[in-house]
Structure 1
Amino acid sequence: MEKTSGKLLAMNFPVQEPKYASFGKKITADKALDQSAMLKKYEGLKKGDTIQVKFKSKVTSVCKKKGCWMKMDLAKGKETFVRFKDYEFFVPLNSDNSTAIVSGKAFIDVETVEELKHYAKDGGKSQAEIDKITQPKTTYAFMADGVLMQE
């Protein structure tokens, strides 16, 4: 903005919209919840509840074998575990720290020790870290039918 005789003049610069690579069902970036709003949705769910929702956040980790799952950041140090509907699509293996928008179903899930060890192995964890997994875990789960990954 320029200041001229005590008044601010707005400059008209074009706003660069982020570009996204699309995976799965075609979705749009509009009306996606942020990570705090998504956490509030999860906190209102109990096991057996499912909601259709779209949200945007940072990818914290991704399956290093196929890109068949990813974890996304929620507020307050929480995260959601995202899988892809019917195993129909995958995301790039180097998606860590990318911004993504996912559309699909959010629900509460309880993962078995066997599942947790499998995901830890696919996530590149050491055998010592995998061996520490001894209890099932209640998770904020997400079954995505469409993903936009910011380029």
Structure 2
Amino acid sequence: MKKIIFLFAISFAIIGCKNEKTEELPMEAEETAINYQSFGNEITDENVLTTTEMMEKSQNLKPGDTIDVKFAATVKDVCQKKGCWMNIETGAEPVMVRFKDYAFFMPKDIAGQEIIVNGKAYVEEMSVDDQRHYAEDGGKTPEEIAAITEPKLSLAFEADGVLIPEVQNN
């Protein structure tokens, strides 16, 4: 009996004194896959410039120049008749985005959303008639539309593909 008690005591001592190091591995950053609604040509969310980087690349454009670029931006407003154009925030003046060959349209309720656009940035001179047309489509008042009296030189964008993040319901 003494031997049994002695064996239990030694077993407990060995188990209690066991100094086993357990190394905690750092948690790997979880990659959250973002699902997108895709419009136009198929594009990816890789190698996307920020709005600031895109504006820096386009600052020296002159009428007739174009640059191919893919960047992320926030939608300011969308054509409320068809979704056939949108304005995006740039930190300065919003940039008018139209869609290549009038081949696709945007949902009309995406103002304020971050999106990814791919296509060509260019400088254009927009006529008074075109400015008034877009102002009307955008829901401007008759007074605001009548106040447009001169052509405007501005940065524009022709998108061939757009990604809009899908809303995740958890």
In 1, the alpha carbon distance for the partners of 2:153 and 2:78 equals: 19
Per-residue deviation, 1:12 = 3.2
TM superposition score normalised by structure 1: 0.89
2:146 is equivalent to residue 131 of structure 1: yes
Q: Which residue of 1 aligns with 2:58?
A: 42
SS in 1 for 2:129: helix
Q: Which residue of 1 aligns with 2:22?
A: none
Per-residue deviation, 1:16 = 1.6
SS in 1 for 2:83: coil
In 2, the alpha carbon distance for the partners of 1:17 and 1:57 equals: 19
Letter of the aligned partner of 1:103 in structure 2? Answer: N
In 2, the alpha carbon distance for the partners of 1:150 and 1:122 equals: 25
SS in 2 for 1:102: strand
Larger relative contact order, structure 1 or 2 (CA cutoff 8 Å, min sep 6): 1
Question: What does the per-residue CA deviation read over 1:111-148, in whole Å, with 9 as the maximum and x for residues that have no partner?
Answer: 00000000000001111111111111111111111110
In 1, the alpha carbon distance for the partners of 2:72 and 2:103 equals: 21
Kindly report which structure 2 residues correspond to 1:88-127, keeping only aligned pairs within 5 A, or say none: 88-127=103-142
Task: Report how many aligned residue pairs link the two structures.
Answer: 143
2:56 is equivalent to residue 66 of structure 1: no
Per-residue deviation, 1:15 = 2.6
- Please list every run of at least 4 consecutive aligned residues from structure 1 whose deviation after the TM superposition is greater than 4 angstroms: none
Q: Which residue of 1 aligns with 2:96?
A: 81
In 1, the alpha carbon distance for the partners of 2:83 and 2:46 equals: 25
Question: What does the per-residue CA deviation read over 1:79-126, in whole Å, with 9 as the maximum and x for residues that have no partner?
Answer: 211000000000101111111111111100010000000000000111
Query: Which runs of no fewer than 5 residues in structure 1 stay unpaired?
Result: 1-8
TM superposition score normalised by structure 2: 0.80
The answer to whether the 8 Å contact 2:58/2:67 transfers is no
Report which of the two has the higher share of strand. Answer: 1
The answer to whether the 8 Å contact 2:73/2:116 transfers is yes
Letter of the aligned partner of 1:147 in structure 2? Answer: V
- Give the alignment's Cα RMSD to 1 decimal: 1.5
Question: What does the per-residue CA deviation read over 1:3-40, in whole Å, with 9 as the maximum and x for residues that have no partner?
Answer: xxxxxx74335232332100000000111110101111
Q: Which residue of 2 aligns with 1:3?
A: none
Q: Which residue of 1 aligns with 2:69?
A: 53
Query: Which runs of no fewer than 5 residues in structure 2 stay unpaired?
Result: 1-24
Bigger CA radius of gyration: 2
In 1, the alpha carbon distance for the partners of 2:26 and 2:129 equals: 58
